[in-house]
Structure 1
Amino acid sequence: MGRNCCFTRFFFFFLVTIYAQEGDDATRGRILDVETQEPVVFATIRIKGKAIGVISNQDGGFRIPPRFREMRDTLVISSMGYQKKEIPISGLSPEHINIIRLAPGVLNLSEAIVTGRKKRKLSAKQIVRRAIANLQKNYPQKPFSTIGYYRDYQLKDGNYVNLNEAVLEVFDQGFSRLDSTTTKVGIYEYKRNADFERDTLADDPYDYESLQKIVDNAYLSGYGGNEFSILRVHDAIRNYNVNAYSFVNRFDIDLLKNHSFSKDNSTYLNGEALYTVKFRRRSPNYSAFGTLYISPGDFAIHKMEYTLYDDRKRSPDRKLNKHLGNGQLIFEVTTEYQRHANRKMYLNYISFNNSFILWEPPKFRVDYSTIDLKRNPQGTLTDFRLELVFNRIPNADEVVDVKNYSVRYQGKPLKIKAAGHIDEKVFLLPDITQEERTTMMREIIEAREKELDFKQLFSIEVKPIYDVEGNRLHEWKKRNYNQFREYFVQQLKPKVDLPNEGEFMNRRRPIFEGQPISRPENFDDYWMNTPLKRLIQ
């Protein structure tokens, strides 16, 4: 056939409701693929005619405040690879989670792209090169703002942990200006969501000195800013002329030279056919996989996905990763832009997910050690024994076995003849002569008069015994987490100037600690798309 042909399978949806939602009068929904039953992640759900909405969560979930039902509004749902669909909110249950099943569209875009004058074939690399060359033309160079829902959280065993949420307005001075120094952020509202589990250790900053919380075999810099600033840096399209992340680095220079490219089946978004360009990089220790979705007309980039793996490590569950490899995830970033009526591309959402290791302090440990002195009724020192205090009750058989202790006195080995315990306390009796005992007691008294520390006389090492609950002494446990930072645009203002009044977020201070709050008069137009407590797969 001598022309482009698009074949789209008949599109339909099913709407059903499941179990009641606790403590929330919002309309809830989940968007699923009708064929795979998998969540349609990051689908755009807009209020028709109001240019405001939300993005679906990792489980396809979303929530709409009750006022939109009362106004009998309509939802417009769109997602890459699916046809746009309109659903009246009045047709959704206000009491249950509404399951909306969408059928993927099938679209074939031939190798030949009609330019209006002639057909031309472009390689995958040529397509990307043109997209980079057209960045300044396709993306806004003048000031604009986006108002959206920000959150950061961790996933642990399918549960959201340390969920922090905010509604922000981001004043971007345009792609011709450096994002990290010119963009300002106004905070409408923020909160640490106490309805979700809080894990104080996992919530701490990354610590590359003690190594208690780290991105394994990688370094996640704070870039001089807070969690939202870290997220902004990882938008490689917005920050195309600065270093974003490995191995994209500087998008306009390094993307092409650091990766190999190939064309995949074309896809479809809101009636527009898009190139799908896959790219990858392999090195001795790392592998990276990316996808770009690009308009064939003006070569605007609609979406970018990038995943980096450490091939020296296996994933904690020992399963293949989603790219069918064995490597452990280091980070994954997805950025989507949408075309506005002025033909410029503006951010729709960005999601950044990195794995990290948290070393959990030992549950069973020695709290302190000391000398238990024995005196007669006249107050004269007659004997002593060493005392250890555990924080938990130790295993009775192991704790009285003298082979489990290595004791030194002033650097010299000290033999122990017996051990006993009462609950968490353990007493060690030195195996020494009476003459040695007298000498040691005199030296202990002298040390106390000089206020010397116990450890300057005695050192006690305990072998890895267990407590009564099976916790090993002084054992640090490694826990694997995934950290997410996400920003979903609810409204775009394509023409806006920085307000003359009001305070902006201090990017060097944690976003949820003592930041200024400034709410506009129409604050109720925006909301937090708080997810269900457990991620539904």
Structure 2
Amino acid sequence: MRLRTILIFSLLTVLAWSVGCAQQPEFLYGKVIDAETKEPVSFATIRIQNKAIGVISNDDGGFAIPMKFKEIGEILEITSMGFREQKILISELTSEQINIIMLFPKAIELQEVEVAAKKRRKLSAIEIVRKAITAVPANYPLYSFATVGYYRDYQKKESQYINLNEAILGVFDEGFDTSDNESTSIRIYDYRENMDFQRDTIAQKPYNYKSGLKVIDNAFLWNYGGNEFTILRIHDALRNYDMDSYSFVHRLKYDFVENHSFSREKNTYLADEPLYNISFRKQGPRHYGYGTLYISQRDFSIYKMEYAVYDRLKTIPGNNGNKNETEEQLIFEVITEYQRVNNKMFLNYISFNNTFRLMEPPKFKIEEMSLDLNKLCFVVIFNKEPERRSAVITRFYSLKYKGKRIKLEEIEMEKKRAYLYPKFRTVAESSSFFKELNSYRNKDDMIDLKLFSFEVKSIIDEEGNEINTPTYGNFNQFREFFVQQVKPYATGPEDSLYMTKDKPIFENQPIVKPDDFSELWMNTPLKTIDN
């Protein structure tokens, strides 16, 4: 295949990314897009030719390549499901702007499909899936191996990156015939909390289903000691094909086929390898499950598995829809892709995304309550100006003194202040009440408000926020691992400097850089103006 580079520069994009480029001039930055739709190509594989190293494009198609590969004249090989492979001379990329690289859809070669059809009966979707699952022990490594790659976890709110944590990890796996959680060891090579992106301490907190502060609606995610990478590994249904993985897939080997219906879609390609395209779904009383399997027509290796689960009873705000053309709210999505190395399938990347709801403090609340003995009234100070009609309704206020309710006669408003005038049967009763309160003055001329209980309800501010009512923000939590190196037959170092799997990844965990650490890099999402 001849080398070809197609570069387009967008002034807006260049301006948006210029700060990031200035911070890390040792990198070349690119963005992969669909030549026909002009949409970003997420999770495209970008490899250095003849080297077992590479990177995966981000959600926006962006990627970074160390400048040193340009200096030694390397070639990039770019592949993505359904597109023609692209080869590009790194020397043709510029370090001054963002390199926009187009991928062209690969047409289905009907003649090849017809020839294959003569050799064997056309298989149904469920037959293809059964053969693929049965072939896992033959197509995936049953021997020890290592993968090294870029790990990150982060949240997104309205497309903004929040709490981005990044690492380079080495994963030492004893093979698909062993229990991943029990036998696989992980080495932390490097880590950082990326302070270039927004940090939100509340969103960082663990899920709390008791308080409701941070929850996944209608789902439960085991904490595994707060170790995000352990959570991610559990959601690789291929690596855990004969044990429990995640809801509805459960054990891929035993449960998956029985739990879903399957359909054959139009075949596709990854580079020059023809793939079956199998869609599947599950419909329950509360959930929809949609997914796709991309399976080799040659040996039934599963190259890619996508699975998304939606809440049937909740719609997306604004009814914008999603990639499965439904309006339901996403609960979680798992995308796993494998690559062929030495005739065996090894992880290329895994992305796990779940939505969660975060309880945020009330936007409208009371800042202070006091007594005004000159005006003979109580004073309530709000943090925002109330909507007047609701703020002067006496039944919305509940005030008790020594356990006995005080009736209110009227309420006067002055911007953020409400003056509450008690109702007494006689002037003498009013005088006696405030005289008693005056006797409770302390040395600082203050009255102990512990003698009172006070509640306010139903009052709203001018934006419609109800008093003391928490709001809920919708976030997406991502955990992702992108393999940069595959090392067949590799075993881990014989020491104890491995990550402890049942506590947070970077909580007093050992960090040890390997000898070839200079060959690795973090493919940090490119920062836009919005971020």
The TM-score normalised by the length of structure 2 is: 0.88
Q: 1:122-178, CA deviations, whole angstroms, 9 ceiling, x for partnerless residues?
A: 211111111111111111112211110011122222222221111111111211111
Q: 1:469-500, CA deviations, whole angstroms, 9 ceiling, x for partnerless residues?
A: 77542232222222211110000111222212
TM-aligned CA deviation for residue 522 of structure 1: 1.9
- Give the alignment partner of residue 510 of structure 2, picking from 500, 508, 516: 516
1:261: which partner in 2?
262
Cα contact 1:28–1:63 (8 A) shared by 2? yes
Cα contact 1:123–1:263 (8 A) shared by 2? yes
- Describe the SS at the equivalent of 1:110: helix
2:288: which partner in 1?
287
- Give the alignment partner of residue 523 of structure 2, picking from 506, 515, 529: 529
Q: Within 2, Cα distance between the matches of 1:112 and 1:329?
A: 41
Q: Within 2, Cα distance between the matches of 1:395 and 1:457?
A: 25
- Give the alignment partner of residue 409 of structure 1, picking from 395, 401, 405: 401
More displaced 10-residue stretch of structure 1: 358-367 or 166-175: 358-367
TM-aligned CA deviation for residue 372 of structure 1: 6.0
Q: Within 2, Cα distance between the matches of 1:132 and 1:463?
A: 57
1:361 aligns with 2:361: yes
Q: Within 2, Cα distance between the matches of 1:465 and 1:437?
A: 33
TM-aligned CA deviation for residue 399 of structure 1: 5.3
- Describe the SS at the equivalent of 2:203: helix
Q: 1:71-116, CA deviations, whole angstroms, 9 ceiling, x for partnerless residues?
A: 222111111212222211110111111111111111246377479x
Structure 1: gaps (5+ residues): 1-7, 375-382
CA distance 1:470–1:225, shift in 2 (3 Å)? closer
2:498: which partner in 1?
504
What one-letter code is carried by the residue in structure 2 that aligns with 1:193? Answer: N
Q: Within 2, Cα distance between the matches of 1:295 and 1:247?
A: 24
CA distance 1:128–1:54, shift in 2 (3 Å)? same
Q: 1:290-333, CA deviations, whole angstroms, 9 ceiling, x for partnerless residues?
A: 11111122211111111111111111231222222221111111
- Describe the SS at the equivalent of 2:258: helix
- Describe the SS at the equivalent of 1:142: coil
Q: Within 2, Cα distance between the matches of 1:121 and 1:463?
A: 66
TM-aligned CA deviation for residue 237 of structure 1: 0.5
What one-letter code is carried by the residue in structure 2 that aligns with 1:533? Answer: K
Q: Within 2, Cα distance between the matches of 1:511 and 1:441?
A: 62
What one-letter code is carried by the residue in structure 2 that aligns with 1:464? Answer: I
1:95: which partner in 2?
96
1:18: which partner in 2?
10
1:377: which partner in 2?
none
1:458 aligns with 2:453: yes
Cα contact 2:45–2:54 (8 A) shared by 1? yes
Cα contact 2:366–2:382 (8 A) shared by 1? yes
TM-aligned CA deviation for residue 420 of structure 1: 5.8
Q: Within 1, Cα distance between the matches of 2:509 and 2:381?
A: 44
1:27: which partner in 2?
28
Cα contact 1:405–1:463 (8 A) shared by 2? no
Q: Within 1, Cα distance between the matches of 2:442 and 2:311?
A: 54
Q: Within 2, Cα distance between the matches of 1:429 and 1:494?
A: 80
1:487 aligns with 2:488: no
2:312: which partner in 1?
311
CA distance 1:253–1:33, shift in 2 (3 Å)? same
Q: 1:203-247, CA deviations, whole angstroms, 9 ceiling, x for partnerless residues?
A: 222221111222112222224451111111111001112221121
Q: Within 1, Cα distance between the matches of 2:371 and 2:47?
A: 71
**RMSD between aligned residues:** 3.0
1:179: which partner in 2?
180
Cα contact 1:162–1:192 (8 A) shared by 2? yes
Cα contact 2:260–2:282 (8 A) shared by 1? yes
1:110 aligns with 2:113: yes
Q: Within 1, Cα distance between the matches of 2:36 and 2:305?
A: 25
More displaced 10-residue stretch of structure 1: 320-329 or 259-268: 320-329
Q: Within 2, Cα distance between the matches of 1:453 and 1:283?
A: 57
1:134 aligns with 2:135: yes
Q: Within 1, Cα distance between the matches of 2:45 and 2:512?
A: 27
CA distance 1:397–1:128, shift in 2 (3 Å)? closer
TM-aligned CA deviation for residue 18 of structure 1: 3.3
1:431: which partner in 2?
423
Structure 2: gaps (5+ residues): none
TM-aligned CA deviation for residue 440 of structure 1: 7.4
Cα contact 1:12–1:103 (8 A) shared by 2? no
What one-letter code is carried by the residue in structure 2 that aligns with 1:466? Answer: D
Superposed counterparts of 1:32-431, under 5 Å: 32-107=33-108, 108=110, 110=113, 113=116, 118-341=119-342, 343-369=343-369, 385-392=377-384, 402=394, 404-419=396-411, 426-431=418-423
CA distance 1:502–1:74, shift in 2 (3 Å)? farther
More displaced 10-residue stretch of structure 1: 20-29 or 233-242: 20-29
Cα contact 2:397–2:454 (8 A) shared by 1? no
TM-aligned CA deviation for residue 464 of structure 1: 1.7
More displaced 10-residue stretch of structure 1: 475-484 or 398-407: 398-407
- Describe the SS at the equivalent of 1:253: coil
Q: 1:38-91, CA deviations, whole angstroms, 9 ceiling, x for partnerless residues?
A: 111111101122211100011111011112122222111111212222211110
Cα contact 2:289–2:307 (8 A) shared by 1? yes
Q: 1:501-522, CA deviations, whole angstroms, 9 ceiling, x for partnerless residues?
A: 3522222322244332111122
Cα contact 2:3–2:86 (8 A) shared by 1? no
Cα contact 1:394–1:424 (8 A) shared by 2? yes
TM-aligned CA deviation for residue 431 of structure 1: 2.4
Cα contact 1:159–1:535 (8 A) shared by 2? no
Q: Within 2, Cα distance between the matches of 1:11 and 1:311?
A: 48
Q: Within 2, Cα distance between the matches of 1:447 and 1:126?
A: 84
- Describe the SS at the equivalent of 2:137: helix
Cα contact 1:384–1:441 (8 A) shared by 2? no
Cα contact 1:464–1:474 (8 A) shared by 2? no
Q: 1:375-406, CA deviations, whole angstroms, 9 ceiling, x for partnerless residues?
A: xxxxxxxx975344444565678656656523
The TM-score normalised by the length of structure 1 is: 0.87
2:471: which partner in 1?
477
More displaced 10-residue stretch of structure 1: 159-168 or 504-513: 504-513
Q: Within 2, Cα distance between the matches of 1:453 and 1:137?
A: 77
Cα contact 1:31–1:40 (8 A) shared by 2? yes
Cα contact 1:11–1:104 (8 A) shared by 2? no
- Describe the SS at the equivalent of 1:496: coil
CA distance 1:410–1:440, shift in 2 (3 Å)? farther
Q: Within 1, Cα distance between the matches of 2:49 and 2:439?
A: 84
Q: Within 1, Cα distance between the matches of 2:252 and 2:448?
A: 58
Cα contact 2:63–2:525 (8 A) shared by 1? yes
Q: Within 1, Cα distance between the matches of 2:283 and 2:225?
A: 30
Cα contact 1:371–1:386 (8 A) shared by 2? yes
Q: Within 1, Cα distance between the matches of 2:441 and 2:282?
A: 64
More displaced 10-residue stretch of structure 1: 285-294 or 494-503: 494-503
Cα contact 2:149–2:485 (8 A) shared by 1? yes
Q: Within 2, Cα distance between the matches of 1:501 and 1:361?
A: 47
What is the total number of aligned residue pairs between the two structures?
514
Q: Within 2, Cα distance between the matches of 1:332 and 1:11?
A: 36
